[in-house]
């Protein structure tokens, strides 16, 4: 027996039908669930923990603090523009769908193709950064009080197991994702907040304000880039920690077809996730930096267990106490990777539904109400992206840079289109009004800035082990996307397909009448 639909359900489904799609995914997410997914994917404890070493050695405490503030404000401008667009166009496709809808008809397919593939690569690169980072944390934690020696192969094996667990939950446990979402919100808020307070309260000594707010440190080489270029160069490169951490909030858009009143709850989910994460992250950074006992030992790979945050915990709580806190972090990072894969699968499902991926992936399992094929496609691609870690120690940082650039370019493209052709955006309930254009311009300029910055070298000397492979990876994506478009995709890819119209055109008259009821609902106030 099907569940009775409420007026809100009818409104949501009719808006989706107006955009050309029928309701296939189960729409049972609230604002808190929608916010929780993006909040879990941003996961400040994940980004800060896994890139804490990078932050300490690429600008030091002062760059981490001020960089976090600047990045939070600029990212919020990106979020504001995205929120306005998702309010107007609430579909699982997200950025690539927006680009098609907002651009003039003759440019729509090309811009949709370009946006979609950058979002596609950024999606599974984020999952790689998160879950591979989780594997690294587990491998490092296993060395404490044991004789376990982590190797690239062992870490990759742990990573494969983590991806498998995420895939299984997203396949068979869609009905429990909401409850895991609630657990994740508690872990990332109360859990991380309690952890931060406990660390700073228990620390035997504290760094002075000057050592936190004024301490610049260049550990990028000998000589470092502050000598080869300038301290400003190092500080600019150091914002990767903050920018990578506050990434992935497009999940609120990708889950809009599963969210009640998506034209309002999805944009609020985007902004809430950025704002709450910015506050929690700043508090966590302060607590960790003030609790460093020995700065030199904390940045020394031979003394810090491979993770500076672990060194802080051990110095403050001892090895046994540190393991308890590390377990909490690993649990948070696991949830982060889980919902990242959820978001990946929804975007890939929509991309396949519109013909950019093989139609084999355009499938929602009737029993589990999950796009199972794209769940495992996302997991497979994330695993492949980590394979270079077997031969290069910089694979993880490259994945984080690719994820950041790929996603933010896909965020900026529809925003830029809306700036150039504002008349094509029919506003939804969330409306910036006269501020739409200036906020959009600021967001686009910021994305352009970080795209250039994250392609710069950050280690000296530059070798095959320290080379920043991000420009190469981004270049491959760009060349591949443009090449496939001009060689053959321009002949058949027309952008998002109006699924309902296509299906209506191929069914008997009596069945069309049922589908046409959707149009009647759309016209209702």
* Choice between 175 and 392, residue whose per-residue pLDDT is larger: 175
Class of residue 274 by CB neighbours under 10 A (exposed 0-12, middle 13-18, buried 19+): buried
Cα distances (angstroms) measured from residue 330 to each of 42, 47, 303, 397: 15, 12, 21, 19
Is 50 exceeded by the pLDDT of residue 507? no
- H-helix or E-strand spanning residue 321: helix 308-353
pLDDT of residue 421: 95
Are the C-beta atoms of 64 and 407 separated by less than 8 Å? no
pLDDT digits (tens, 9 = 90+) for 345-372: 988 988 888 888 888 888 887 776 778 8
Is 90 exceeded by the pLDDT of residue 517? no
347: tokens are 């975007």
Of 13-17, 154-158, 434-438, where does mean pLDDT reach its minimum? 13-17
Cβ contacts of 322 within 8 Å, gap of 6 or more: 144, 310, 313, 314, 316
* Choice between 395 and 24, residue whose per-residue pLDDT is larger: 24
CA angle 464, 470, 475 (to 5 degrees): 110
Bond into 461 cis (ω within 30): yes
Phi, psi of 29 (to 5 degrees): -100, 140
Is 80 exceeded by the pLDDT of residue 423? yes
% of the chain surpassing 90 pLDDT: 51
Only one residue has tokens 């046409």, namely 516
pLDDT of residue 519: 38
**Of 287, 282, 316, 222, the residue nearest 64 (C-alpha):** 282
CB atoms within 10 A of CB 185: 20
**Of 90, 217, 206, 164, the residue nearest 378 (C-alpha):** 164
Average pLDDT for the chain: 86
pLDDT of residue 501: 56
- What 8-state DSSP symbol labels residue 58? E
Position 143 confidence tier, pLDDT thresholds 50, 70, 90: confident
Are the C-beta atoms of 237 and 456 separated by less than 8 Å? yes
Is 80 exceeded by the pLDDT of residue 124? yes
Distance CA 6, CA 14 (A): 12
- Most confident option among 21-35, 60-74, 171-185, 382-396: 60-74
For every residue of 265-282, which 3-state class applies, written as one string? HHHHHHHHHHHHHHHHHH
Is 50 exceeded by the pLDDT of residue 511? no
Distance CA 489, CA 507 (A): 28
Are the C-beta atoms of 335 and 40 separated by less than 8 Å? yes
**Of 94, 427, 1, 25, the residue nearest 9 (C-alpha):** 25
- pLDDT (mean) for 388-414: 78
Inter-axis angle of helices 395-420 and 372-386, to 10 degrees?
130
List, in sequence order, the alpha helices (H) in 369-425: 372-386, 395-420
- pLDDT (mean) for 283-300: 96
Quickly name the fold that domain 7-342+400-522 has.
Amino acid/polyamine transporter I (1.20.1740)
pLDDT of residue 395: 61
pLDDT of residue 331: 94
Residue-range domain boundaries for the chain: 7-342+400-522
pLDDT of residue 437: 95
* Choice between 286 and 364, residue whose per-residue pLDDT is larger: 286
pLDDT of residue 509: 37
Position 396 confidence tier, pLDDT thresholds 50, 70, 90: low
Only one residue has tokens 């804490």, namely 52
- pLDDT (mean) for 106-123: 92
For residues 366-396, b (16+ Cβ closer than 10 Å) or e, as one string?
eebebbbbbbbbbbebbbebbebbeebebbb
Position 503 confidence tier, pLDDT thresholds 50, 70, 90: low
Is 60 exceeded by the pLDDT of residue 79? yes
Position 524 confidence tier, pLDDT thresholds 50, 70, 90: very low
What region, left, alpha or beta, does residue 495 occupy, with left being phi > 0 and alpha being psi -120 to 50 degrees? Answer: left
pLDDT of residue 518: 38
* Choice between 80 and 228, residue whose per-residue pLDDT is larger: 80
Class of residue 147 by CB neighbours under 10 A (exposed 0-12, middle 13-18, buried 19+): exposed
Are the C-beta atoms of 258 and 269 separated by less than 8 Å? no
pLDDT digits (tens, 9 = 90+) for 149-167: 888 899 999 999 999 999 9
Of 175-184, 277-286, 382-391, 460-469, where does mean pLDDT reach its minimum? 460-469
Position 499 confidence tier, pLDDT thresholds 50, 70, 90: low
Helices (H), strands (E): how many in the chain? 23, 2
**Of 111, 173, 160, 124, the residue nearest 369 (C-alpha):** 173
DSSP 81-142: HHHHHHHHS--TTTHHHHHHHHS-TTTHHHHHHHHHHHHHHHHHHHHHHHHHHHHHHHHHHT
306: tokens are 């491979």
Are the C-beta atoms of 270 and 83 separated by less than 8 Å? yes
pLDDT digits (tens, 9 = 90+) for 219-269: 998 888 999 889 999 999 999 899 989 988 988 888 888 888 888 999 999
Q: Would you call 460 helix, strand, or coil by DSSP?
A: strand
pLDDT of residue 64: 96
Cβ contacts of 150 within 8 Å, gap of 6 or more: 136, 139, 140, 142, 143, 306
483: tokens are 């090449």
Phi, psi of 233 (to 5 degrees): -60, -45
- H-helix or E-strand spanning residue 2: none
Position 500 confidence tier, pLDDT thresholds 50, 70, 90: low
């Amino acid at each position: 027996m099907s569940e009775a639909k409420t007026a809100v359900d009818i409104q949501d489904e009719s808006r989706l039908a107006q955009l050309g799609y029928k309701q296939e995914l189960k729409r049972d997410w609230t604002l808190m669930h929608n916010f929780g997914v993006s909040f879990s994917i941003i996961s400040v404890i994940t980004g800060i923990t896994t890139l804490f070493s990078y932050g300490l050695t690429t600008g030091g405490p002062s760059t981490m603090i001020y960089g976090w503030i600047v990045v939070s404000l600029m990212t919020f401008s990106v979020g504001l523009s995205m929120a306005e667009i998702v309010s107007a166009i609430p579909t699982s496709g997200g950025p690539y769908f927006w680009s098609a809808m907002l651009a003039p008809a003759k440019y729509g397919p090309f811009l949709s193709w370009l946006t979609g593939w950058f979002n596609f690569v950024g999606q599974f690169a984020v999952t790689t950064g998160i879950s591979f980072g989780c594997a690294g944390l587990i491998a490092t934690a296993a060395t404490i009080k044991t004789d376990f020696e982590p190797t690239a192969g062992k870490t990759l094996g742990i990573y494969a197991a983590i991806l498998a667990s995420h895939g299984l939950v997203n396949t068979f446990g869609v009905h429990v994702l909401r409850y895991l979402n609630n657990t994740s919100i508690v872990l990332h808020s109360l859990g991380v907040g309690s952890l931060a307070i406990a660390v700073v309260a228990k620390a035997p000594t504290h760094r002075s304000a000057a050592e936190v707010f004024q301490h610049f440190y260049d550990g990028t080489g000998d000589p470092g880039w502050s000598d080869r270029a300038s301290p400003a160069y190092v500080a600019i490169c150091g914002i990767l920690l903050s920018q990578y951490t506050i990434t992935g909030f497009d999940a609120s858009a990708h889950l809009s077809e599963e969210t009640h009143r998506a034209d309002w709850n999805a944009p609020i989910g985007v902004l809430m996730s950025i704002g709450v994460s910015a506050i929690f992250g700043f508090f966590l950074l302060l607590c960790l930096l003030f609790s460093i006992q020995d700065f030199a030992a904390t940045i020394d790979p031979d003394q810090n267990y491979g993770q500076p945050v672990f060194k802080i915990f051990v110095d403050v709580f001892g090895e046994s106490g540190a393991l308890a806190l590390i377990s909490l972090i690993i649990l948070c990072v696991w949830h982060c990777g889980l919902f990242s894969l959820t978001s990946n699968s929804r975007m890939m499902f929509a991309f396949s539904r519109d013909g950019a991926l093989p139609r084999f992936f355009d499938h929602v399992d009737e029993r589990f109400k999950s796009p199972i094929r794209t769940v495992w496609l996302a997991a497979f691609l994330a695993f492949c992206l980590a394979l270079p870690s077997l031969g290069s120690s910089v694979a993880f940082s490259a994945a984080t840079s690719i994820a950041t650039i790929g996603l933010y370019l896909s965020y900026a493209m529809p925003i830029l289109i809306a700036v150039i052709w504002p008349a094509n955006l029919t506003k939804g309930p969330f409306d910036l009004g006269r501020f739409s254009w200036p906020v959009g311009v600021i967001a686009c300029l910021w994305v352009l800035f970080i795209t250039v910055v994250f392609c710069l070298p950050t280690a000296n000397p530059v070798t095959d082990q320290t080379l920043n492979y991000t420009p190469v990876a981004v270049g491959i994506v760009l060349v591949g996307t443009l090449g496939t478009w001009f060689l053959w995709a321009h002949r058949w890819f027309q952008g998002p397909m109006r699924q309902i119209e296509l299906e209506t055109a191929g069914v008997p008259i009596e069945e069309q009448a049922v589908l046409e009821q959707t149009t009647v609902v759309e016209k209702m106030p």
